[in-house]
Amino acid sequence: MTVQSRRERIHEIATNEGEVSFDDLAAEFGVSLMTVRRDVEYLERKGVMRKVLGGAIAIKGTSVEPSFATRSADHSRSKELIAQATVELLEARETVLIDSGSTALAVARQIRGKDLKLTVLTPSLLVALELVDEPDTTVIVTGGVVRPGELSLIGGQPEAVFSQYNCDTYVMGVAGLDADRGATDYHLLEGSVKKAAIECSERVICVADSEKMGKVRLVTVTALKDISIIVTDSPVDDPTVQAAQAQGVQVVTVGSDVAPNPPMEGK
């Protein structure tokens, strides 16, 4: 039995029984009191349980709502794969700037439950909502006018906010990515926010599904060479990908050929 599965089981028991004692759990799993205690502590930080004297109880109502952010957006498989790969590039305790847009939102979703203890800055209300309840995670939103469709924030003083926090990584979404024209976007003010984000970040990870490759949109955000890493599901022989690599950009490809993902340890 792995650590992970034991913790899941503890949560399950607590949910069913309502309450569990540390003694019982220790006996049940054949581990020490200290171990189950630490397990419960972990689950408590995840927000699903709560310690009481001598044991723990399950927090009700947690598992029902996947947050309504999750409802609206699309769940494309490729975005999910891109998001998974992107999260693996993050380190614990980083300060991460997460963009608006569906792909960046997918990244936020993957961050959930990973216990990365991040500080997250975002101009997206959906990203913020997705991570609000994450334990040990601080969520900071930039101020500004809410753009109805996207629920992204434009205007305000993004530069001021971003620079205040020494951002390590910027997870950037784009509307188009082209060999010559670089990263581009539809909306003028969105573009300004992205530019400010790039300015303030050590590392720029661009998440872009194959849909975006070779497309040029209204506003130029940045040149390819200013991107640190591109995560995409495009094939490695895509001309835009090739161009990016030629300019020294690291490219991570996911999907089709590479997918040896054991998401849960099957023991």
Residues contributing to the site for a copy of itself (CB under 8 A): 47, 50-53, 57, 59-62, 64-69, 125, 128-129, 132-133, 138-146, 148, 151, 153, 155-157, 160-161
Q: Which does 57 bind (CB under 5 to 8 A by kind): DNA, a copy of itself, none?
A: a copy of itself
Of the CA atoms within 13 Å of residue 148, those in its CB half-sphere come to 0
Largest CA distance in the chain: 65
Q: How far, in Å, CA of 205 to CA of 91, rounded?
A: 13
Find which of a copy of itself, DNA, none residue 249 binds, CB within 5 to 8 Å per kind.
none
Q: How far is the CB of 71 from a copy of itself (least distance, A)?
A: 8
Q: Should residue 53 be labelled a site residue for DNA when binding is judged by CB under 7 A?
A: yes
Interacting residue with DNA among 12, 17, 34, 261 (CB under 7 A): 34
Calpha distance 99→190 (Å, rounded):
10
Among 13, 28, 31, 70, the residue binding DNA under the rule CB under 7 A is 31
Residues in a beta bridge with 253: 232
Between CA 193 and CA 230 the distance in angstroms is 19
Report in angstroms how near the CB of residue 67 gets to DNA at its nearest: 26
Q: Closest distance between DNA and the C-beta of residue 169, in Å? A: 17
SS3 of 4, please?
helix
Determine, following the binding rule CB under 7 A, whether residue 170 of this chain makes contact with DNA: no
Least distance between a copy of itself and beta carbon 125 (Å):
6
Return phi, psi of residue 248, to 5°.
90, 10
Q: Which of 106, 94, 10, 115 is nearest to 55 (CA)?
A: 10
- Interface residue with DNA among 35, 62, 163, 247 (CB under 7 A) is 35
Sign of the CA dihedral running 66, 69, 72, 74 = negative
Least distance from DNA to the Cβ atom of residue 266, Å? 10
CA torsion, ordered 171, 173, 179, 182, to nearest 10 deg? -90
Q: Report the partner that residue 37 touches, choosing among a copy of itself, DNA, none (CB closer than 5 to 8 A by kind).
A: DNA
Residue 57 touching DNA (CB under 7 A):
no
Q: Which is nearer to DNA, 88 or 202 (CB)?
A: 88
| 55/71 Cα distance (integer angstroms) | 35
Strands 201-207 and 229-232: parallel
Tell me the angle at which helices 33-45 and 3-17 cross, rounded to the nearest 10 degrees. 80
Q: What is the total count of residues that contact DNA (CB under 7 A)?
A: 19
Closest contact distance (angstroms) between CB of 233 and a copy of itself is 28
Interface with DNA (CB under 7 A): 3, 6, 22-23, 30-35, 37-39, 41, 51-55
